[in-house]
Amino acid sequence: MLEALYRGLTALAGPAVRRLLDRRLAAGKEDPLRLPERLGHAGLPRPPGRLIWLHAASMGESMAVLPLIDRLLTLSPRSTVLITTGTVTSAALMAKRLPPGAIHQFVPVDLPAAVARFMDHWRPDAALWIESEFWPNLLRALRKAQVPAALVNARLSAGSHRNWRRAPRTAHRLLSTFRLALAQTATEAGRLRDLGLADVRCVGNLKYSTSPLPAEPQALAAFKAAVGDRPTWVFASTHPGEDDLAVQAHQRLAPRIPGLLTLVVPRHPARGPEVAAAFQARGLTVSRRATGALPDATDALHVADTLGELGLFFRLAPVAAIGGSFVPVGGHNPIEPAQLGAAIVYGPHMHNFAEIAATLEAAGGARRVPDVDGLAAAVHTLLTDPDARAAQAAAAKAVADDNRDAVDRVMAALAPLLAEAGLHLTGDAR
């Protein structure tokens, strides 16, 4: 009943959705050259042969799925992987990171006509949706076309679970699209079963299987030369409200740590000028990566407002604070700095990575702090006590290394579904 009502309302919502897309375009949240893709008009021809559709909502999910894409193309080299995302930042990262045999498109908005155009053009043989984005019209189209589908690296928050339980028949109908769900944690597996999904397994988190973030060697060498032996820490993937915390922490630490350099990486690079201006208004000397500047000896802070360079700054700074965790966003992926040997600090809001955070903390590989006082204290300890820093970084890297085989378990679980879709794997899926 609710699904039919939703379909009817979205069939009438075309003009309103187009106005919304225009507003997003004006705000820089859509790609003007690829806007038709959002309405289901393909930007590329469909390659011949089998096509596996992976949908990852945004940047974090699309990064997590890269090892799965590599494995699929290795084991089924005659197939094509189509990955869809919904943000311009994820599209830019996919342009840099996708291997040959994989192509990117923007996911269509969930209007019946847009979905029909998308499905008619791409005709996927299998669909793997990442984490927990459920669009009713897209899922209905998959069921109608009888496309074998799985939910991979599935995540369902307590709040989303409560919301879906208010409409159990609709939840069951939508989730019935998926023959299989591979949950990140046992808790989330239980939530999915509670909503009626029969085959749910807990096989680990794909984020552990991602390759270390890359860094351009010449850029890294230039930054190392510019920074020299200055004590340096990075506050990565900051959201509004956290940039000010970076300044507060810096001002508390600078009198006790001569020459301190604080690197701030906004989650959304377009905020760079705004962030730098706010720092300058506090009387601090600031440089910005997007202008091509390197931090010089007079800079207190450096704003790293470029895309896809976190690997550079995690290699440069031995201490990394995780953004999105000091405001109620849910945190960002702590495995990325762990893989590169940084000592990790984060705030109280890590619910998007609760299991990973708990594992790191239990191993002594991360410090959770409540506020800016705790942040400054932790960074001070880690920058001034090399032994403590090395022990914490080593513990975090061990957690990352010990769980790298998550993609093997995911592929083993998916092998029967892929075979049903006619995708003949050339090797052992594990």
Q: Which residues are catalytic?
A: 61
322 in Cβ contact with 344 (< 8 Å): yes
Name the residue among 135, 143, 128 with its Cα closest to residue 61: 128
300 in Cβ contact with 287 (< 8 Å): no
Phi, psi of 330 (to 5 degrees): 115, 0
- Sequence-distant (6+) residues with CB within 8 A of 424 are 76
332 in Cβ contact with 213 (< 8 Å): no
DSSP 129-165: EETT---HHHHHHHHHTT--EEEEEE---HHHHHHHH
- Sequence-distant (6+) residues with CB within 8 A of 366 are 334, 338, 344, 345, 346, 357, 360, 392, 396
- Sequence-distant (6+) residues with CB within 8 A of 87 are 29, 57, 58, 59
234 in Cβ contact with 263 (< 8 Å): yes
Count Cα atoms within 13 angstroms, Cβ side, for 260. Answer: 23
* Structure tokens that stand for 46 in this block: 């469909």
> Cα–Cα distance between 109 and 137 in angstroms, integer?
9
> Cα–Cα distance between 195 and 426 in angstroms, integer?
36
* Structure tokens that stand for 8 in this block: 């009817």
